[in-house]
Amino acid sequence: MKARKNDELVFLPLGGSNEIGMNFNLYGYGPEDDRKWIVVDLGITFGDQTTPGVEVILPDPEFIEQYADDILGIVLTHAHEDHIGAVAWLWPRLKAPVYATPFTAFLLREKLRDAGILDDVDITEVPLSGKFALGPFELELITLTHSIPEPNGLAIRTPLGVVLHTGDWKIDPDPLLGGVTDDDAIRKLGDEGVLAMVCDSTNVFVDGHAGSEADVRKALVSLIKPLKGKVAVACFASNVARMDSVIRAAEAADRRVCLVGRSMHRMSAAARSVGLMKGLKDFINEKEARHFPEDKILYLCTGSQGEARAALARIASGTHPHVNLGKGDHAIFSSRVIPGNEVPIRNLQNHLADRGVRLYTERDHPGIHVSGHPCRDELAQMYAWARPQIAVPTHGERRHLLEHALFAKDLQVPQTVSPRNGDMVRLAPGRAEIIDEVPAGRLYVDGGMVTPENGDALKERRHAAFNGVLMVTVALDGKGRIVSGPQIRAIGLAGDADFPLDEALDDLALDAEQAVKKIPAEERAFDEIVESALSRVVKKGAFRIWERKPVVETTVLRI
């Protein structure tokens, strides 16, 4: 296929640029009025203290949804949640065929089955190093190493040039499970000529190399073997090589392994479905583990990030039905602290310590974890292999992307573009530049429902969380006279010894009573007039007392 006169090749991130996580990238080819698209990854991020009640956040597909008929496929680079987690939520809006390697496809099917749409989604399993074509895009999977099985870069060939989309990666000479980085394939791409490299920026501020899983295995064996008492190890369940290392370290210490947490079971099943984690003893279940001597058991747990409902948090709080840890036991965190999770992780570790459990983290035992993302020396090596004309940093906060662009310039890359989510970058023809800005927001999964980022429910919840709630009730007779109340209840508002909460509410109730009496008798027949007067005076009084603007709910009863 040859390029036509008005053809353009564009890159459009709708998630994952200016943030770490929620990856959602688009490549478009053709003239503006007849462009065909492929989607690369469709992931989630997680809620925090600013999104009360919201655990899962999705990228908003508003822009590409209007061109759903022009989407040729959704291509998944690997199986981490921030790359595949939104497929089950958003596929019904896009309805494009999905392409993934066997391990990723196994986990995706589980998600689609849970969502009740498995039979609707056309999934094509692509072998490692496989090739396939989607309209003007010819795609080739490039084997890389990361912290999950079957991570792939994508060589995307078009009539206007070749793009290398790295996904998440590192250079691990001994990843333990799966192949090593296919540097020959990347060198050949460089010889062919790489127009642009769209590349992971997570560790751009970190010198050197990320480190090898083989070294982590040695450190874990050395750490676990001499320990007495029960041992719990927390790691990311998706890091199957790490799971394998923990299990082998346990067996080297004559301990049996009990998986604790749904994700551990799901990932081990996915790994075994593609021939990984061979030659290991069968796991024992949680009930059986209670009957093993303390020196003969190791619990491999979810919850390394302090997740409230994960296995390790329940163990730390003493609410797990089968597993308990106490004085003389050990908890090993074979993971890093993801930015934003510092407080829940610290709380979790304090709870474990309070129970007498000794803790081991990467801070005091640096060898028990390595990152899955490239540090500066690895980035330099990738640029030396690929030799792109354009560097497009992605998968990072703003500071990561800008530093990555500067680093690429130092490595003599001729052009750099650092887009934000929603910035459409023309890669060819001509110089790379941002040519348009499209909507790129977020959707919140709230109580199982997908809602807009700025929806009323979350606004009210945030308001209530920070300012409290006042509920005002008054009963009126047929002539609008007060029969009972006004009564005022408070949620989330304080009192003290000098001005107890009950006294504050009594003062507000007096203000509310006077407000009702000031309404002309003929107008008291209308609930909305009474409610408006109550709300206005109570809000004013609340600000006078607490210097806050609580949510005020008013109820008028007719007796």
Q: State the pLDDT at residue 524.
A: 81
Q: State the pLDDT at residue 28.
A: 98
The DSSP string of 147-175 is SSSS-EEEEEEETTEEEEE--S-B--S--
CATH classification of 8-208+371-449 is 3.60.15.10, yes or no? yes
Pairing of the two strands 45-46 and 123-125: unpaired
Which tens digit of pLDDT belongs to each residue from 467-489?
889 999 989 888 788 888 888 99
425 contacts 419 by C-beta, under 8 angstroms? yes
Q: State the pLDDT at residue 309.
A: 87
Q: State the pLDDT at residue 465.
A: 78
Q: State the pLDDT at residue 517.
A: 85
371 contacts 209 by C-beta, under 8 angstroms? no
Per domain, the residue ranges of the chain are 8-208+371-449, 213-364, 456-558
Low-confidence ranges of the chain (pLDDT < 70): none
The DSSP string of 383-447 is HHHH--SEEEEESB-HHHHHHHHHHHHHTT-SEE--PPTTEEEEEESSS-EEEEE----EEEEET
Rounded-to-integer distance, Cα 212 and Cα 190, Å: 26
The reply to whether 213-364 shares the fold of 8-208+371-449 is: no
Sign of CA dihedral 79, 83, 89, 91: negative
CATH classification of 456-558 is 3.40.462.10, yes or no? no
Rounded-to-integer distance, Cα 161 and Cα 235, Å: 40
Q: State the pLDDT at residue 405.
A: 98
In CATH, what is the architecture of 213-364?
3-Layer(aba) Sandwich (3.40)
* Tokens 């190399």, residue located: 209
302 contacts 237 by C-beta, under 8 angstroms? yes
Q: State the pLDDT at residue 113.
A: 96
Q: How far is CA 377 from the centre of its chain?
A: 27
> What is the 3-state secondary structure of 212-229?
CHHHHHHHHHHHHCCCCC
Q: State the pLDDT at residue 142.
A: 98
Sign of CA dihedral 167, 173, 176, 177: positive
Q: State the pLDDT at residue 559.
A: 81
Q: State the pLDDT at residue 17.
A: 95
Which amino acid is located at 372 in the chain? G
Q: State the pLDDT at residue 332.
A: 98
* Tokens 């999950």, residue located: 148
Q: pTM of the full predicted structure?
A: 0.87
Inter-axis angle of helices 527-546 and 501-518, nearest 10: 140
Which DSSP symbol is given to 384? H
Residue (of 274, 349, 280) closest to 315 by Cα position: 349
Q: Give the 3-state secondary structure of residue 145.
A: strand
